[in-house]
Amino acid sequence: MLSPTAAAPTAEAPSASLSVSLVPDAVLTAAGLGAQLSEEHCRLAGETADAVRDAGFARHFVPRCYGGSEGTFGEFLTATATVAAVCASTAWCAALFAAHGRLASYLPERARQELWGAGPDVRIAASVIPPQGRATAGEGGWRLDGRWSYASGIDHAEWVLLAGFTESAGGREHRIFAVPRAEVTVLDTWRPLGLRGTGSNSVRVEDVFVPEYRTFTLDRLLRPLPGGGRCHGVPFPMVAALQFAAPLLGAAEAAQSLWTAATAGRRRADGRAAALTPAARHLAAESSAKIKAARLLLVEVALRADTAEATPAVVAECRRDAAMAAALCAEAVDRLFHAAGAGALAEGNPLQQKWRDVTAAAAHATLSFDTAAAAYADAVFADADGVDAGGVDAGGAASGVPASGGADVGVPASGVPASERA
């Protein structure tokens, strides 16, 4: 089995006194054995999805009152990156099952009882950005119709969170609906370059009634959950990018290991050892430094999420650092792949798969550095002339939410990322 190369710094320091709730080693064997099937069928193998659940990912951010772990972001980062070193698609689904459990924690009490009354190990898929389909108000709730895209892990989910616009006395609202998996139709739409095993298919819903108690509005994710643990006390923009950067990091660390091993045993056409060429030696140092820097950035993001006050500046720093970590990993792996020679182009080459997975993950809108940079600038220059420190719109710096964004970007003006746009 592959393991991350940058093992020295960990994100577990802030939670060292807490019991471990994630057991990534339990997933590694299933992820390794099922990786090829996941690639071919564009979804996780059933055994792999079950191993993800049994390792504690689905329950990681579920409130303790339902048997959940209310775990830390540090442990989440470490466990997700460890799984991604073996299979990025498995890690992606694991990360999102955990993250969606955190989102579902904002549902009203009655809905949470429906989800977790029998236990916290419930896998939840989601498609919440942008709002899609149509929600028609009725007595006691809404009727949903339409199609929603990029619901990662939907084939193995028991529930799915879908979003649409609704009207209220205060105007239009971005509302999230919890729908049983049995009430949606999965469409076979996922045939991507990388992260093929995530099964991020579209779903169709036809005249499904969702009671009001199984909904909440998106703006609730910007406020602490009353009575929730620390993991429910930070605004979503503070941790949104981390859930996508964590699997990217583990895949990049594995790519570094693969390239190093292949280069050490490769000879150039002139007979010289490839590892002795100046270009290879320079790349070995540069790429490993970039990936190590990415890990350090993400460790710091997780540490802030677990311990720091969620000020606008801190939220902006977390977004900046996670996006930069993703960019560093993508740059490093791209260089490694292109320096690996023709052998890396062969179907089934493991470095090629890591490159495809990292490339796909880095394209996720939530990891856009341009968007993160705009949010950081809003926070840093909040007192500058011409900048309204109180926030001109829903994306004002005072709320820790960027002013830039839109329906088709990772973190729109509402501050919540496109959690299912792979």
Q: How far apart are CA 115 and CA 25, in angstroms?
A: 27
Cα 334 from Cα 359, distance rounded (Å) = 8
Q: Which residues contact 167 (CB under 8 A, 6 or more apart)?
A: 137, 173
Residue whose entry in the numeric block shows the structure tokens 């019991």: 19
Write down the H helix ranges in 339-387.
Answer: 350-362, 369-380
3 state DSSP class of 71: coil
| The pLDDT of residue 387 | 52
The span from the CA of 276 to the CA of 260, in Å, is: 12
Q: Report pLDDT for 385.
A: 65
Query: Which sign, positive or negative, has the C-alpha torsion 326, 328, 334, 337?
Result: negative
Which DSSP string do the residues of 158-219 spell out, in sequence order?
SEEEEEEEEEETTEEEEEEEEEEGGGSEEE-----SS-GGG--EEEEEEEEEEEGGGEEEGG
Q: How far apart are CA 286 and CA 40, in angstroms?
A: 34
- The pLDDT value recorded for residue 322 is 98
Here the tokens at position 410 are 């990772």
Q: Closest Cα to residue 197, out of 163, 159, 156, 160? A: 156
- Per run of 10 residues, the mean pLDDT along the chain (length 422 residues) is 37 44 89 89 95 97 96 98 97 98 97 97 95 93 96 97 89 95 96 96 97 96 92 95 98 97 83 82 97 98 97 97 98 96 86 97 96 95 65 33 32 39 39
pLDDT digits (tens, 9 = 90+) for 317-348: 999 999 999 999 999 999 999 999 888 888 88
Name the one residue in this structure whose structure tokens are 């073996």.
Answer: 86
Residue in the structure block whose two tokens are 């498995």: 90
pLDDT of residue 170: 77
Q: How far is residue 284's CA from residue 185's CA, in Å, rounded to a whole number? A: 47
What is the sign, positive or negative, of the torsion defined by CA atoms of 237, 81, 195, 367?
positive
The closest of 96, 168, 109 to 361, measured between CA atoms, is: 96
CA Rg, the chain, in Å? 21
User: Model pTM greater than 0.85?
Assistant: yes
* Two tokens, residue 39: 């690639």
Which pLDDT score is estimated for 20? 66
Q: By the 8 A CB rule, do 214 and 174 touch?
A: no
Do the beta carbons of residue 76 and residue 68 sit within 8 Å? no
Q: Which residue has the tokens 């969606």?
A: 100
pLDDT tens-digit readout, 100-143: 999 999 999 999 999 999 999 999 999 998 899 999 999 999 99
